[in-house]
Structures are given as structure tokens and as C-alpha cells.
Structure 1
């Protein structure tokens, strides 16, 4: 499927499910990573993540298009088009659009190991664990006002 096929599919779904025309541009966007699609408020275009179509099929693509068309039509009508709005939720139920996309099978896990920086006071031995670097010239121990020195970096799983 290419952008031309996607454009005609979006126009068809808009007319059949919403009984309204889709008068803007729909295209695939290869830069989308964590979402199935997005509706652009300023240009009224719809961008779709092609990986969802390639890996999960036409049914998933149709669901994503319906979801984005809910944003599109409500925004143009001046109604509540955001996820939290009642107009949006009612229209989603009416056209049977999914609230969320399915998870892609090849999507990498986001459980990255976290680094922790350990600082120690030279005077009293108090340890401090921080996620961000501390300027040891500017900050001192909160317990005794002694000089802080970098000790080690830990990685937590």
C-alpha cells in the first residue's frame, strides 16, 4: 500500500463511517515510532505509521484511521476532539474506533537500565545517590558542609 491507496482508503472510511468527506491529505510517516497515527491540528492532515499496517494488517490500519478521523471531524466542527472530551468518546463508540493501538511485536522494550551517580562527603562519609551530575564545586554535604567527591556510577536493572 502506498500513499495514494491510503488516501483513497481514508476517504472511503470517512464517507462510510462518518458520512462526511475527508478533504485533506493522508499519508504514511516513517518517522512515527510510538503511535499508530496522528492528526495534525494546523494542516488537518493525517499521518499513519506504516509499520502497523505491515505487521498487524488491514484491520488495525482501519481502526487507526477511524480514530484519527474522529479527531479530524470533531476538530473541524468545533467540538471536543481531545481524548478526554465526551464528544470524542461518544463518536469513537459510535464508529467503533479503538482508543489505543495494539502493541507492535518488534517494538523494543523501554526498560532501560538506569544509572545512578554516587557522591560521598570527604568529612563525614555521608553518601548521596543522584540521577543527574552534581557540581561538586558548588554543592556541599547537607549534614556537615564538607566537600563532596564523586565515588562511582551504578546501573540498576
Structure 2
């Protein structure tokens, strides 16, 4: 999928809104090139949906459509005065009804290369870290057991 212009992006969002929510999308949608760790966001005060353009280029079409549907859940619930935040019951129910994802998958370009792997000596919980951890200072978050560096 190529990067869409503003008109095409609006048409796609409106079509998904009509198909999945049976309601039109009446506000602004745009790409935000500064988004890094998220696929999109809904700004309630301005009623704007911002989408990460990297998800159009780096992932398949279904992932990007899932992000739009997720943001439309926030949008429609906010417009109706219902609970539109991630923890709200209304939001979780609408996600299920529309088949929208709760979270987006990380971008392939954002995948981290972990240098260190630690294992709890008690419960065998594994921790992957980019930076080194002081095993004398830190313990397992699950059972408070001692951490041990796993050989690479």
C-alpha cells in the first residue's frame, strides 16, 4: 500500500466508519510523522485522528485498517459521550464488536536487538534487556528470586 494523500485517507477512514460502525466520520484525520511507538491516536479536544504513516509503508493493509478501526472506536464513543478510554467497558466491548485490535504490532524497523537475557533462578522467568542489569541490586518481579545472566 502506498502512502495516501489527505483526501484518500479521509475517504478510507469514512468508508471504514460507515462499514463497521454504521456512522459517518465527520472530523479530521491526518498522518503524523512524529509518532514513533504507536500506530495512531485520537485527540478528543480537537476530534482529530492522527495515524503513523510508517504503518502504511512497513506493514500489510490489514494492520493499518485495524489501527484505523481502533481509533474510530475512541472517536465514536467520545462523540456519543460514552467511555472511550482503553480501560473503559464501553471501549472494550466496541473493540470486540467491530473486530478491532487492542494493540498494534511493533513496526519491523522498531524491533530491538536484545543484548542481555536474565533468568530467575527460582521461577525461571526470562527477562530480555538492551542494557545490562545489576543482578546484585535487582530481583525477579514475579517471585523476588535472584536473577542470573544467561550465556549468549
TM-score with structure 1 setting the length: 0.69
Larger Rg: 1
Which residue of 2 is the match for residue 52 of structure 1? 55
Which residue of 2 is the match for residue 42 of structure 1? 45
State the shift of 1:5 in Å.
1.1
Partner-residue secondary structure (3-state), 2:110: coil
CA distance in 2, matches of 1:23, 1:70: 14
- The alignment's C-alpha RMSD in Å is 1.7
How many residue pairs get matched? Answer: 117
State the shift of 1:113 in Å.
2.9
CA distance in 2, matches of 1:98, 1:78: 22
Which residue of 1 is the match for residue 74 of structure 2? 71
Q: Does the Cα contact within 8 Å between 2:42 and 2:49 map onto a contact in 1?
A: yes
Confirm or deny that 1:113 pairs with 2:131: yes
Which residue of 2 is the match for residue 2 of structure 1? 5
| Aligned ranges 1:15-30 → 2 under 5 Å | 15-30=18-33
State the shift of 1:4 in Å.
1.8
Unaligned runs of 5+ in 1: 117-128, 130-157
Unaligned runs of 5+ in 2: 115-128, 138-152
